[in-house]
Amino acid sequence: MAWNEPGGGNKDPWSGKSGGGGESGPPDLDEVVRKLQEKLGGLFGGNRPGGNKSGGGGGGFNLPTGNLGTRAVAIVLGALLLVWLFTGSYIIAPAERGVVMRFGKYVDTTDPGLHWHIPYPIESVEKVNVDEVSSFSHQAAMLTKDENIVDVELTVQSRIQDAAQFLFQDQNPEGTLKDATETVVRKTIGGSKLDFILTEGRGAIAITIQERVQELMNLYKTGLLVTSINMQPAKPPDQVKEAFDDAIKAREDKERSENQAETYSNQVLPQAGGEAARIIADAKAYRDKVVAESEGEAARFSAVLAEYKKAPEVTRERLYLDTMEKVLSGTNKIVLDTQEGSNSMVYLPLDQLVRQRQTVAEPQQPLIVSPVETEARPGTARPVDRDRRARQ
């Protein structure tokens, strides 16, 4: 229903009064403001309706006063302070470092983990990835020490070592690294000969370039660490490319020959060492054998000497018989000692004696038979004369 609905009277929603009849018009604005002020004052513990009003004509607005209003404001401010302090917590990932700045000035570098700093705008944190590896390539034609031109190509890899230096000490660390690399490469190539660069000097040159570039990075405080420098094979000028290819092939042949010689040496030396050890062992065994035999002979001679002193004649005859046995055992002649006037005949089985000598056996003793047995056996030798002179 409208405020001034016909037949229903005027109902003022602000004053709560209803009028009758025929008056209609807008509500009093001052009255509306005054009532709104009274309601807000009652909410915050201020002036109650009908209390003192500030200013004349009822057109002012009184701020809330009292314990309830102060506590509400303190609670709101405390909540805002807690939220503000909470915004100062931050987490650093394992691959990052946190650079804390206070009013834009470097304060500290934080490691991975949960940390807190004074919230913005007093302090701020910038996170820097120190594990990310960046790389760039550099290629140029350079002059060597022996005044030859060579094409050099290399790849440089680096990462951030000091986050604070990377952010504040150098305006463009990556550009500084590129300029330093070019300078060091030209200096290193200019101090080396072309043959050394094209053959065995590539690895040494790459290590030298990395060390010198890192020294410049430390001097300029860029905060960068050169992790590796990969140098591609250098290319000689086209006019002498074939000659250098032949030089490279000759170097490879040299290395192959050296490897073959080393392999042969590794094979022969152990065999020679084993053979030498065997010869030495045989010599020691022969020495021990000769020494032992000599000692045995000396002991035997000492024993014979003792017996000779006791019975010289018997010992002399025994030595003579032993010596003659040794000497005559290897001959094919047989010596018989017979007495004159003996009528016995000697039968010598020569075939058996020869066979026994061939088998290295002792010679068979001569068989002595009587003349009667000889005559009785057919095919035997005729009886000899008893007189030795007649037989001769």
pLDDT tens digits, 191-242: 888 878 877 788 889 999 999 999 999 999 999 999 999 988 888 777 777 8
Rounded Cα gap, residues 129 and 94, in angstroms:
9
Residues 321 and 329: beta-carbon distance below 8 Å: no
Tokens 């014979």: give the residue: 304
Q: Which band of pLDDT confidence, cut at 50, 70 and 90, is reported for residue 183?
A: very high
Most confidently modeled of 36-40, 57-61, 63-67, 143-147? 143-147
pLDDT at 203: 85
Task: Sketch the domain layout of the chain as residue ranges.
Answer: 1-86, 89-129, 137-236, 332-391
Residues 237 and 185: beta-carbon distance below 8 Å: no
Tell me what the mean pLDDT of segment 272-278 comes to.
91
pLDDT at 158: 93
Residues 331 and 357: beta-carbon distance below 8 Å: no
* Amino acid at site 324: M
Give every strand in the sheet of 96-102, ordered side by side.
105-110, 96-102, 123-129
User: What one-character-per-residue DSSP string does 200-219 give?
Assistant: TTHHHHHHHHHHHHHHHHHH
Rounded Cα gap, residues 267 and 188, in angstroms:
43
pLDDT at 160: 92
CATH number of 137-236: 3.30.479.30
Give the tens place of pLDDT for each residue, 109-142. 888 988 888 888 888 898 989 888 999 998 888 8
Contacts of 154 (CB under 8 A, 6+ apart): 137, 138, 139, 181, 185, 206, 209, 229, 230, 231, 232
Rounded Cα gap, residues 389 and 384, in angstroms:
11
Q: Which band of pLDDT confidence, cut at 50, 70 and 90, is reported for residue 62?
A: very low
- Structure-block tokens of residue 343: 């009528």
Distance of CA 309 to the CA centre of its chain: 83
What is the Cβ-side half-sphere exposure of residue 387, based on CA atoms within 13 angstroms?
A: 2
For residue 102, the tally of other CB atoms under 10 A from its CB is 13
User: What one-character-per-residue DSSP string does 123-168 give?
Assistant: EEEEEEESS--EEEEEEEEEE-TTS-EEEEEEEEEEEES-HHHHHH
Rounded Cα gap, residues 64 and 71, in angstroms:
12
- Structure-block tokens of residue 93: 């990932």
pTM of the model: 0.46
For residue 110, the tally of other CB atoms under 10 A from its CB is 20
Give the tens place of pLDDT for each residue, 335-350. 666 666 666 666 666 6
